[in-house]
């Protein structure tokens, strides 16, 4: 085979490779939602695996009964028990208040209309116009809620699918991981394996740091809500701590819920809730979050902030949730393969 034929085959090979890469990228773009769900589930399985291993090491006498799937079953039972306890804590007072509101709504609307007439510009409308505006606003809100049910149903399905995938990764993650490594040449496999294990350890430290942030916010917010006599204070405090797993958006949702609960009783409580969130979030973002995350995952504050922005832009809520462990993974890989070490 002469040199011209070899060169022609090399060119054809490069062209085929480029088209194959382009096709793979196109398919990945079409499947981006599924791939993101798969990645998030695998990442959560990585950071939750120490809990499963710790459960499997529990001894009863001389035996370790919680091995393998039994450890995951214990984790599921603990989550189910926590959700059940939260339901018994949160739902009864909310249901009682909703029943009371439905009985008192016919008398509340005229009183609300009278209060609105005291607001500048609104007082130029007569009572019937204000009342009809309130009713139309409530009707629009109800219609919007019904139209949003499809979106919320899709989100719930994704959460359930992610939960199931996480369980499968916890059960068979080692098999999937070894299968992934089998595609890497043998001479490079050990190095990649050690690098990914280092990244996994740092991502698991991120989980501990995130749990610390959630616990601090949950406890402090519960104390503040109880001292302000906010309705559903305990349930709101728990939700505030849990929602803190989603950077920025979680705090926003918690703030809105707390303000709505406080507005039921008095504007003074609304002001108290607003002041608390303003002070705490400034303290967390400026001091608490950077220090905890920097100590846990060895990322600078600027890197954490940039990771949050990129994660939110690329993957929304899910992207923001896993942005920091993803930044840890990328940092470890770059440090191993690209950073020139003397």
Residue carrying the six token digits 């019904």: 146
Give the 3-state secondary structure of residue 60: strand
- CA atoms of 40 and 19, how far apart (whole Å): 29
- CA atoms of 227 and 269, how far apart (whole Å): 10
- How close are the terminal C-alpha atoms of the chain, in Å? 45
Candidates 42, 72, 40, 43; CA nearest to 56 is: 72
Q: What is the pLDDT of residues 264-275, one digit of tens each?
A: 878 888 899 999
| DSSP result, 100-133 | HHHHHHHHHHHHHHHHHTTSTTGGGS-HHHHHHH
Per-residue pLDDT of the chain (342 residues; tens, 9 = 90+): 556 655 566 666 667 777 887 888 888 888 878 888 888 888 888 878 877 777 777 777 777 777 767 777 777 788 778 778 777 777 777 677 666 766 665 665 566 556 555 555 544 544 445 556 555 665 665 555 555 556 666 677 777 888 888 888 888 878 888 888 888 888 888 888 888 888 888 888 888 888 888 889 889 999 999 999 888 888 888 888 888 887 767 888 888 888 888 888 788 888 999 999 999 888 887 787 777 777 777 777 777 778 888 887 777 777 777 888 888 888 888 888 877 565
- CA atoms of 128 and 150, how far apart (whole Å): 35
Q: What is the pLDDT of residues 155-165, one digit of tens each?
A: 777 778 888 88
Give the 3-state secondary structure of residue 63: strand
Residue 320 in tokens: 């923001």
Q: What is the pLDDT of residues 163-201, one digit of tens each?
A: 888 888 888 878 888 888 888 888 888 888 888 888 888
């Amino acid at each position: 085979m002469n040199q011209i034929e070899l060169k022609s085959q090399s060119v054809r090979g490069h062209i085929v490779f480029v088209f194959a890469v382009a096709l793979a990228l196109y398919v990945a773009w079409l499947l981006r939602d599924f791939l993101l769900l798969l990645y998030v589930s695998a990442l959560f399985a990585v950071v939750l695996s120490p809990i499963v291993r710790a459960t499997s090491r529990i001894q009863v006498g001389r035996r370790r009964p919680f091995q393998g799937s039994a450890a995951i079953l214990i984790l599921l039972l603990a989550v189910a028990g926590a959700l059940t306890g939260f339901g018994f804590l949160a739902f009864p007072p909310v249901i009682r208040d909703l029943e009371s509101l439905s009985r008192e709504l016919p008398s509340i609307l005229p009183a609300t209309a009278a209060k609105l007439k005291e607001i500048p510009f609104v007082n130029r409308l007569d009572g019937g116009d204000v009342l009809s505006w309130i009713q139309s606003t409530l009707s629009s809100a109800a219609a919007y809620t019904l139209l949003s049910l499809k979106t919320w149903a899709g989100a719930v399905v994704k959460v359930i699918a992610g939960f199931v995938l996480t369980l499968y990764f916890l059960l068979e993650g080692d098999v999937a991981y070894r299968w992934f490594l089998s595609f890497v040449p043998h001479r490079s496999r050990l190095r990649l394996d050690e690098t990914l294990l280092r990244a996994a350890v740092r991502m698991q430290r991120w989980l501990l740091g995130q749990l610390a942030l959630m616990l601090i916010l949950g406890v402090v917010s519960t104390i503040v809500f109880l001292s302000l006599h906010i309705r559903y204070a305990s349930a709101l405090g728990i939700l505030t701590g849990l929602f803190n797993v989603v950077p920025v958006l979680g705090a926003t949702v918690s703030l809105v819920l707390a303000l709505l609960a406080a507005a039921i009783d008095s504007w003074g409580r609304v002001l108290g809730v607003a002041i608390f969130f303003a002070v705490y979030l400034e303290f967390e973002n400026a001091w608490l979050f950077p220090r905890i995350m920097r100590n846990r995952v060895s990322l600078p504050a600027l890197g954490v902030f940039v990771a949050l922005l990129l994660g939110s832009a690329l993957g929304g809520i899910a992207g923001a949730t896993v942005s920091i462990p993803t930044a840890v993974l990328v940092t470890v890989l770059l440090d191993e393969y690209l950073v020139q070490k003397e």
